[in-house]
Structure 1
Amino acid sequence: MPIDAARALAEEPRETRLAWTRKDVLLYHLGIGAGRPATDPAELRYVLEDRLHVLPSFVTVAGDGGVAGEGAGLDAPGIDVDLTAVLHGAQRIELHRPLPPAGEATRTSRIAAVYDKGKAAVLVLRTEAADRGGPLWTSDTQLYVRGEGGFGGERGPSPRLPAPGREPDHVVDRAIRADQALLYRLSGDWNPLHADPEFAALAGFDRPILHGLCSYGMALKAAVDTVLDGDVGRVRSYATRFAGVVYPGETLRIRMWPEAADGRVRLAASAVERDEAPVLADTVIDHD
């Protein structure tokens, strides 16, 4: 049986050491489209080491691919699935304090939940990272595994947020370079779905798709720059559901609804060239 939920949940947490440098942060920021235009002072703080601000979504690649590199969850005891059947379903990160531009940390990872959606299974991988100063971040990664449901497990939550009751306060478009997935994967997510046309075809796509976590980072950067005065330290948590794919060469349209009274920003993203096909949904940034 490909998924043995009881065995996966009973497995002891895995502990690994992480280390990252300013070069890693710079590469990540370039991978999500920072540095354009190259002479804009607001962009240079993402791509020049002497004034570097770390976007919180960097935690998804910190160390060795971070959350994405923890396809580690896919080789946990009790989990034996086909990589072509795996999609990133949702992502949430919580920041306990601002991220240093270079550092070391201990990362603890475990399978926190296994849900049976009938035609698919959902794995929830929880990761916590801390350094000598204490906790740095907590992340929950939901992996959707097609064809692996029906094992009699708990169905799990299906949260959907009500649509905002007004037009978005801000709408920004971000062009995705044709080679952006090739650049982003250098931060540690080597899944061939994002680079190899033959592998993408096996997964049911006519060409490689952009990493969901790349669009996730692009959307957060847009919100920080547009709503949070460019202050990365104001972000406390960031959660999204991956509602669809976007392809390199397309345009990501990001809609934002600030809710100042609640200290949050609602967000949605779509692919402009495909009739506003949803990309990110049920997206919330909690901030100071």
Structure 2
Amino acid sequence: MTLPGPLLDPAAPPFDPAAARNYRTVTREALGRGAPTRPDAGPLTAFVLTHPLAERTVDALAAGHGPYFLVHLAQEIVLHAPLRPATAVGARAEVLAARTEPKGTRLALRTCLTDRTDGTALADLTAHILLAGIRTGEPHGTLTPAAAPRQDVPATPVSRAVTIDREWIARYGEAAGDLNPVHLDPTAARAAGYPDAIAHGMALVSMAVEEIADRYADGHADRIRALGVRFARPVLPGTETVLELTPPASGDTVLFTVRSQGAAAVKGGWARLGPEKGEYR
């Protein structure tokens, strides 16, 4: 496996507020909530904008190495500036580290979002990925798991059930631009080793972001300046799924977990809130 240098995406589209609003609206359907009342994009929009370049980077790495399927292990997102209407965005991808394991090749992939007009950094995203079935290539870099922020004084946890069915998974995939067959086609999902089509991992994260924004940021998704998660198990359509939040008694970090069938599907989740007013950090 030959690791490429940094890859640029010259065809990245302008930021589209209507598409970002639709993405959030579809996400909120699973929470039983209406469309967002604020025009904020939030951190998951940065993921949607960089996802096509991340996919192309992984496809280029895997080319010529036979069949494989991708397992999303973990994700971190840091917003440096809010996304504004008609911003001409640029995307950049870089493989930070790679290691061959018994099940395949594990990667740490960083994507960056910038304003092409003035070069302002908008977001940094780091994904940990397993290319299951590909076991070739020299080690590269150092795979360092990120430590999840802790709460020294947590407040009272809250939880709520969410509704995830096949129709919603399909709508989410269309809104996010992620039409991977394992999320849409039970036959393709079984070929990849799952019992049925599975929900997008980032769909579960997006639900947590929306719930946190409504409960602790007055609906202001852009106040969620950073987040991190680990993906533990797939969520099947129609299964009991519960979102659990633990806000801080003091501080700025909300912890979250998504459970399905009684076990953690998304674990180690955290979201850092910015101030109501003020510059990004």
Which residue of 252, 255, 278 maps to 1:266? 255
Which residue of 125, 128, 136 maps to 2:109? 125
Which residue of 15, 21, 42 maps to 1:55? 42
Mapped partners of 1:87, 1:197: distance in 2: 17
1:155-194 pair list within 5 angstroms: 156-158=143-145, 169-186=157-174, 187-194=176-183
Mapped partners of 1:162, 1:94: distance in 2: 14
- Per-residue CA deviation, residues 240-287 of structure 1 (Å, 9 max, x unaligned), is 01111112233431112223544211111111xx2x121111111122
Mapped partners of 2:26, 2:53: distance in 1: 16
RMSD: 2.8
Ranges of 4+ aligned residues in structure 1 off by more than 6 Å? 162-167
1:66-215 pair list within 5 angstroms: 66-67=50-51, 70-77=54-61, 80=64, 84-131=68-115, 132=117, 134-149=120-135, 153=139, 156-158=143-145, 169-186=157-174, 187-215=176-204
Matched to 2:217, the amino acid is L
Q: How many residues are treated as equivalent by the alignment?
A: 268
TM-superposed CA distance for 1:161, in Å, is 5.1
**Higher helix share goes to which structure?**
1
Residue of structure 1 equivalent to 2:272: 286
Larger mean CA deviation between 155-164 and 242-251 belongs to 155-164
TM-superposed CA distance for 1:167, in Å, is 8.5
Q: 1:229 to 1:99 in 2, by over 3 A?
A: same
Question: Alignment partner of 2:233: what SS?
Answer: coil
Mapped partners of 1:130, 1:162: distance in 2: 26
For structure 2, the residue ranges without an aligned partner over 5 or more in a row are 275-281
What is the TM-score with the length of structure 1 in the denominator?
0.81
- Per-residue CA deviation, residues 182-216 of structure 1 (Å, 9 max, x unaligned), is 11121311211111121111011221101111111
TM-superposed CA distance for 1:179, in Å, is 0.6
Which residue of 8, 28, 36 maps to 1:33? 28
Mapped partners of 1:278, 1:111: distance in 2: 28
Mapped partners of 1:89, 1:232: distance in 2: 24
Q: 1:227 to 1:221 in 2, by over 3 A?
A: same
Q: Assess if the C-alpha contact under 8 Å between 2:21 and 2:36 holds in 1.
A: no
Q: 1:164 to 1:84 in 2, by over 3 A?
A: farther
Q: Assess if the C-alpha contact under 8 Å between 1:270 and 1:277 holds in 2.
A: yes
Which residue of 235, 239, 255 maps to 2:244? 255
Mapped partners of 1:237, 1:127: distance in 2: 15
Mapped partners of 1:104, 1:60: distance in 2: 16
Larger mean CA deviation between 87-96 and 76-85 belongs to 76-85
Mapped partners of 1:162, 1:136: distance in 2: 22
Q: Assess if the C-alpha contact under 8 Å between 2:6 and 2:92 holds in 1.
A: no
What is the TM-score with the length of structure 2 in the denominator?
0.83
TM-superposed CA distance for 1:98, in Å, is 1.8
Residue of structure 2 equivalent to 1:13: 7
- Per-residue CA deviation, residues 44-77 of structure 1 (Å, 9 max, x unaligned), is 335xxxx522232111212xxx326621122235
Residue of structure 2 equivalent to 1:277: 263
Percent pairwise identity? 22
- Per-residue CA deviation, residues 95-150 of structure 1 (Å, 9 max, x unaligned), is 01222254321111122221233433211221111113511111112211223347
For structure 1, the residue ranges without an aligned partner over 5 or more in a row are none
Matched to 2:42, the amino acid is L
